[in-house]
Amino acid sequence: MRYFDDFKQGDVHEYGLYDVTAEEIIGFAREFDPQPFHLDEAAASASLLGGLATSGWHTAAISMRLHCQHLLKDTSTIGSPGVPEMKWIKPVLKGFQVHLRTEIAMARGSQSRPGMGILELHTSMLNQHGTVLMTNRGITLMATRAASKDLRLYDPQAIARSPLWQKPQDILANPASADDNEGLLTGWLDDIVIGRTIDLGTHHFESAAITRFAAKWDPQLFHVDPEAARKSVYGGQTASGWHTAAVGMGRHVRTRQTYLDEGRRRGHPDTPRGPSPGFRDMKWLEPVFAGDTIHYYQTHAEKRRTSRPGWGMLMNHYEGINQHGRKVYEYMSSGLWPMRDKG
């Protein structure tokens, strides 16, 4: 067993080999990111990605799997509070064989929780040609060798006293209530209203589904083993943060499709879709326990032109709210959107 004490700032680790297959790309996308350039070879070849490529969340899941199999294996890891930044630099295409290179950029003891250390990991994913495909800055929490068995991260009583989430005033709940010029109906960035919140619907996290996702992508005991989770710092089985985020992506894609379908019904033409270059400020604020129901929301935060003709960038703020009215996660994501005004 390795503890926080065994990881030193400046250490570099290179590890893992993972074969990316078309079958897995399509399978992950069907469940969590059903966009054409992740599902269909022809659509992918005609897209900005240039070929069948993993969802960014699939890329993140592969990275987490390799972390667990190598860097975090047989360690006292106790989870993560979030990811300050992830960049999807180049498409992860079918046929790639990928591995990770991780630098421990920071290692310090926690001042608020004796017995716990904080690691900041800077990770790159590379393919067999040495091309960097993804980079991220992530935070990992780990117990020290001298940690008390009573170390706890989750205090239900303290959480229960935290402020409840305030629902925004300007919110779209269904396509039928949208105006004809609503950007989600027309598909053009020009029409997107900044500050508007979109209701993405809910998802119930069942124990079996939590275990299934974690066994494949994030096999830490407090995710995969309900009995071990009860003895962990969380006191119960929790969903991987990547599971929470991937489900949210699925809710986003399917909700957006319902608006585009309504737009076509009203006579709007089809518009292309663009990929995302990454996200920032991912915060896993409260554990998502087996049995929790999360309500997902998306707020249009900012839009701008890009140097790519005909395309702009939309920044969205994503949130998940549990059945108690408390926020469990949030992040800022960017995505390429087509523009009617090519100037």
Q: Is residue 243 part of a domain?
A: yes
My answer on whether 79 and 181 are in the same domain is: no
Among 114, 145, 176, give the residue marking a domain's end: 145
Which residue is associated with the tokens 């129901």?
293
My answer on whether 239 and 335 are in the same domain is: yes
Domain that holds residue 338: 164-343
How many domains are there within the chain? 2
My answer on whether 173 and 141 are in the same domain is: no
My answer on whether 117 and 61 are in the same domain is: yes
Count of alpha carbons within 13 angstroms of residue 141, beta-carbon side: 19
Q: Is residue 294 part of a domain?
A: yes
Q: List, for residues 134-146, the tens digit of each pLDDT value.
A: 999 999 999 999 9
Which residues 6+ apart lie within 8 Å of 255 measured at CB?
Answer: 198, 199, 200, 201, 298
Q: Is residue 170 part of a domain?
A: yes
My answer on whether 37 and 182 are in the same domain is: no
My answer on whether 313 and 215 are in the same domain is: yes
Q: Is residue 90 part of a domain?
A: yes
pLDDT at 148: 66
Q: How far apart are CA 12 and CA 121, in angstroms?
A: 10
My answer on whether 9 and 119 are in the same domain is: yes
Among 145, 177, 212, give the residue marking a domain's end: 145
Q: Is residue 157 part of a domain?
A: no
Q: List, for residues 242-285, the tens digit of each pLDDT value.
A: 999 999 999 999 999 999 999 999 999 999 999 999 999 999 99
Q: What is the CATH number of the domain that holds 299?
A: 3.10.129.10
Closest CA relative to residue 287, chosen from 78, 103, 69: 78
Q: List, for residues 167-211, the tens digit of each pLDDT value.
A: 999 999 999 999 999 999 999 999 999 999 999 999 999 999 999
Q: Is residue 155 part of a domain?
A: no
The dihedral region occupied by 70, where left means phi > 0, alpha psi between -120 and 50, and beta the remainder, is alpha
Residue 111 pLDDT exceeds 70: yes
Q: Is residue 150 part of a domain?
A: no
Q: Strands of 82-88's sheet, edge to edge?
A: 12-19, 97-109, 116-126, 132-143, 82-88, 278-284, 327-338, 311-321, 293-305, 197-204, 171-172
Among 111, 145, 179, give the residue marking a domain's end: 145
